[in-house]
């Protein structure tokens, strides 16, 4: 410590600082000594390993796979390791989920996606002491190739997905090494909420998960959620293509804000500026005016809304439908509800493993639906809420708590988690909503609900340029800004209706989850833009 450093410091302080510095120096010396010792040990081990190890060609770290060779070696997937493969010698690629050394043995749990299998190395004919030690020291999450014999086990291995077999490892090579310190532990990340509390075990909070999404997505729960979500998209499209729908691609960069300009993101576009589409609606409708008759699209939807709730995202995936009909917009409601029912059935029949996996961490009741889908009128819903003690006006929109309460009342009365609410008050819907011809207070519009939360909003649209102009003026919308929209209907437009579904909400509510960030791989909200 130089004089300059202690200028102006009192004697006591000086002494304290000297002591601190001394301690620090001692610590560092100890650290260096330990390190040197460790290195010496490692070198000795290495030498020992190389000199005496009869198994030295049976383990190690592979050079980075750079496509050096086309190896003619089949890799068996963990999920395919069943008693039928007993006594076969096979190769497996998997991550090290856990590893535990015990005397001359090393127990590994190997993981690939949702599937795990136990693997055993024991000092003997095929494995040396050094080889077992090597295996025991491998870091969790490293990817390895092992050659092993599949062995049937007497007692089921409860901790693994493959309960009837284990692997007796004969060769083990590292394909990609993980750093030793993981930002979160997978076993913590799949622990049901509350379960860890009593035993002082950790669960992982949402921000830590999302900050380290690459690891969080490896959990059985995440793997199941996003495989099921892929299924939702596939079922949605397959059902609609079977019904004669055409898939369209609509632009996301648009020149004018479609619905008056609120909650819209601005983009710089060369020398001008543009906006991100809040919905593909205008374009879907243009396709209807262009005779495509039945169209759908799957794509991002952007909402610059500063809503920090469990169910709002600033960017989400819209499953959008638009359809010309003959005489009544209920033809469209029927098409949409049938599509939803096909999705529910497909998930139930084809994704049972995924549903059960998610339920282990987040228990929920199986999703219930009726055929045909229950359709209630808004009026009836208001009456049911009033009967339950809610005070609300005829033309008032549903608040979120009332929406949920209504869901519970409907579930109790009709035993369904899915229903349609039809004939919303005209006052609470956008200007392009077709008024009800029999009662000007209402409209030909509808929402759909899953477990008491809205997943779709839709309506018959005004397809007549003159009425559309009147409605826009009634809403005090600048006609100049929506001229192109209105002009679309001047050259013959079929009556049509449609709606937009939020993919993340459908996945969340089907699985009975409670936050839409769990069903968005890389969620965007007012406070999160990464990863």
74-93: which residues touch its own copies (CB under 8 A)? 75, 93
Q: Which of 56, 133, 151, 252 binds its own copies (CB under 8 A)?
A: 252
Q: Which of 61, 101, 136, 226 binds its own copies (CB under 8 A)?
A: 226
Q: Which of 249, 307, 308, 352 binds its own copies (CB under 8 A)?
A: 249
Catalytic residue flag (residue 312): yes
CB closer to its own copies out of 126 and 463: 463
The C-alpha atoms of residue 98 and residue 111 are separated, in whole angstroms, by 9
Written as six digits, the tokens of 416 are 């369904």
Written as six digits, the tokens of 272 are 């001008």
Burial class (CB in 10 A: 0-12, 13-18, 19+), 361: buried
Give the total of residues touching its own copies (CB under 8 A): 107
Q: Are the C-beta atoms of 76 and 148 separated by less than 8 Å?
A: no
The C-alpha atoms of residue 13 and residue 398 are separated, in whole angstroms, by 66
Question: How far is CA 255 from each of CA 249, 252, 320, 337, 363, rounded to the nearest angstrom?
Answer: 17, 10, 21, 33, 46
Least distance CB 192 / its own copies (angstroms): 21
Q: Which of 117, 132, 204, 248 binds its own copies (CB under 8 A)?
A: 248
Site residues (CB under 8 A) for its own copies, limited to 400-429: none
Site residues (CB under 8 A) for its own copies, limited to 124-153: 141-143
CB closer to its own copies out of 2 and 69: 69
Is the bond preceding residue 372 a cis peptide, omega within 30 degrees?
A: yes
Least distance CB 124 / its own copies (angstroms): 28
Question: How far is CA 524 from each of CA 78, 305, 320, 452, rounded to the nearest angstrom?
Answer: 34, 11, 20, 24
Q: Which helix (H) or strand (E) holds 273?
A: strand 272-276
Q: Which of 55, 210, 289, 340 binds its own copies (CB under 8 A)?
A: 289
State phi, psi for 10 to the nearest 5 degrees. -70, 165
What does the per-residue mask of binding to its own copies show for 485-524, with x meaning CB under 8 A? ---x-xxxxxx-------x----------------xxxxx
Which among 58, 112, 171, 311 is annotated as catalytic? 311
- Say whether residue 349 binds its own copies (CB under 8 A): no
Catalytic residue flag (residue 305): yes
Which among 147, 187, 305, 395 is annotated as catalytic? 305
Q: Are the C-beta atoms of 308 and 486 separated by less than 8 Å?
A: no
Q: Which of 237, 348, 375, 481 binds its own copies (CB under 8 A)?
A: 237
Q: Are the C-beta atoms of 510 and 526 separated by less than 8 Å?
A: no
Site residues (CB under 8 A) for its own copies, limited to 94-113: 95, 112-113
CB closer to its own copies out of 3 and 70: 70
- Say whether residue 64 binds its own copies (CB under 8 A): yes
Q: Which of 187, 188, 315, 395 binds its own copies (CB under 8 A)?
A: 315
Least distance CB 186 / its own copies (angstroms): 11
Strands (DSSP E) found in 355-468: 374-377, 418-422, 445-450, 453-460
- Say whether residue 330 binds its own copies (CB under 8 A): yes
Question: Could you give the angle at the alpha carbon of 516 between the alpha carbons of 512 and 518, nearest 5°?
Answer: 80
- Say whether residue 298 binds its own copies (CB under 8 A): yes
The C-alpha atoms of residue 58 and residue 49 are separated, in whole angstroms, by 12
Catalytic residue flag (residue 311): yes
Catalytic residue flag (residue 303): yes
Catalytic residue flag (residue 457): yes
The C-alpha atoms of residue 152 and residue 154 are separated, in whole angstroms, by 7
- Say whether residue 255 binds its own copies (CB under 8 A): yes
Q: Which residues are catalytic?
A: 303, 305, 311-312, 454, 457, 505
């Amino acid at each position: 410590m130089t004089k300059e450093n202690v200028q102006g410091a009192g004697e006591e302080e000086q002494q304290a600082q000297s002591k601190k510095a001394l301690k620090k120096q001692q610590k560092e010396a100890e650290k260096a000594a330990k390190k040197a010792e460790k290195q010496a040990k490692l070198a000795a081990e290495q030498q020992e390993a190389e000199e005496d190890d009869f198994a030295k060609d049976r383990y190690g770290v592979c050079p980075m796979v750079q496509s050096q060779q086309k190896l003619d070696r089949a890799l068996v997937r963990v999920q395919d390791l069943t008693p039928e493969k007993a006594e076969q010698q096979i190769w497996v690629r998997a991550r090290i989920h856990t590893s535990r050394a015990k005397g001359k043995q090393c127990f590994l749990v190997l993981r690939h996606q949702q599937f795990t299998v136990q693997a055993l190395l024991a000092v003997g004919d095929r494995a040396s002491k050094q080889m077992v030690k090597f295996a025991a020291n491998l870091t969790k999450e490293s990817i390895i190739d092992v050659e092993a014999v599949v062995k049937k086990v007497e007692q089921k291995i409860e901790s693994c997905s493959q309960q009837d077999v284990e692997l007796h490892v004969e060769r083990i090579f590292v394909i990609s090494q993980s750093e030793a310190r993981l930002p979160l532990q997978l076993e913590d990340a799949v622990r049901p909420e509350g379960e860890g509390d009593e035993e002082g075990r950790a669960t992982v909070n949402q921000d830590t998960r999302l900050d380290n999404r690459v690891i969080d997505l490896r959990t059985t729960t995440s793997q199941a959620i996003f495989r099921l979500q892929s299924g939702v998209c596939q079922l949605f499209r397959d059902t609609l293509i079977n019904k004669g729908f055409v898939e369209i691609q609509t632009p996301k960069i648009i020149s004018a804000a479609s619905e008056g300009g609120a909650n819209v993101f601005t983009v710089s576009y060369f020398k001008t500026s543009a906006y991100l589409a809040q919905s593909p609606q205008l374009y879907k409708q243009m396709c209807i005016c262009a005779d495509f008759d039945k169209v759908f699209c799957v794509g991002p939807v952007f909402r610059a809304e500063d809503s920090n709730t469990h169910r709002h995202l600033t960017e989400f995936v819209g499953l959008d439908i638009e359809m010309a009909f003959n005489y009544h917009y209920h033809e469209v409601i029927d098409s949409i509800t049938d599509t939803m029912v096909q999705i529910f059935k497909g998930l139930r029949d084809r994704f049972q493993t995924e549903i059960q996996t998610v339920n282990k961490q987040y228990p929920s009741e199986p999703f219930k639906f009726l055929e045909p889908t229950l359709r209630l009128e808004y009026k009836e819903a208001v009456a049911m809420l009033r009967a339950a003690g809610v005070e609300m006006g005829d033309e008032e929109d549903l608040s979120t708590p009332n929406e949920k309460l209504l869901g519970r009342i409907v579930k109790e009365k009709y035993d369904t988690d899915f229903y349609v609410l039809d004939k919303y008050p005209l006052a609470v819907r956008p200007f392009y909503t077709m008024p009800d011809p029999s009662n000007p207070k209402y409209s030909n519009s509808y929402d759909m609900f899953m477990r008491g939360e809205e997943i779709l909003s839709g309506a018959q649209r005004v397809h007549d340029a003159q009425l559309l102009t009147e409605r826009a003026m009634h809403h005090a919308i600048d006609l100049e800004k929506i001229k192109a929209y209105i002009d679309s209907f001047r050259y013959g437009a079929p009556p049509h209706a449609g709606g937009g579904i939020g993919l993340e909400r459908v996945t969340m509510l089907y699985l009975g989850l409670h936050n839409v960030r769990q069903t968005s791989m890389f969620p965007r909200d007012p406070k999160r833009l990464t990863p």
